[in-house]
Amino acid sequence: MLIYVMKLFRFIFHFCFLFLITYTFACHEHTGSKLPERNNGKAWLADKSTRLGFKKMDEQFHHANSLESLEDYHKQADQILSIINEILSSCTMTGQGHEELHKYINLLLEEVHIMKGNDITLAKKAKSDLIEKITKYSLYFE
């Protein structure tokens, strides 16, 4: 019975992951690796849920550990996806700032996707790149 529950949970998680990626890319034009634009040289005003979500990511993922396993990277990618899902589900931003936030989230999702893969070298680099992108959040949003 436990095996079936675990399989169901895994199925639901992967469904949510695919939904999140589909929603993010379908909600707005796919921007590839393009960085968000600033608001006339200033950071966009983010809503409270976005600020809290990025703060949470920054607190949990502020350094890389060279001893992490592929399973560790998968678990961390799942944690990032959960935080991103929280941000998207409670986002109240509108207009150009909202569009730029989605560009930024797309950049994070690209790294998360690599972390979920089967190559530990790529996962390690993706986590490092993800951390760098998370720390640059304040350049684009306040």
- Higher per-residue confidence, 32 vs 138: 138
Split into its structural domains, the chain has a count of 1
Is residue 31 assigned to a domain?
Answer: no
Q: In this predicted model, what pLDDT tens digit does every residue of 76-127 receive, in sequence order?
A: 999 999 999 999 999 999 999 999 999 999 999 999 999 999 999 999 999 9
Mean pLDDT of the 35-59 span: 95
Is residue 29 assigned to a domain?
Answer: no
Is residue 93 assigned to a domain?
Answer: yes
Is residue 30 assigned to a domain?
Answer: no
Return the top range by mean pLDDT from 5-14, 33-42, 45-54.
Answer: 45-54
Nearest to 24 by CA among 94, 84, 92: 84
Is residue 25 assigned to a domain?
Answer: no
| Structural domain range at position 53 | 43-140
Is residue 32 assigned to a domain?
Answer: no
Q: Which H/E stretch holds residue 15?
A: helix 2-27
Token pair belonging to 102: 């989605």
Is residue 26 assigned to a domain?
Answer: no
Mean pLDDT of the 22-27 span: 44
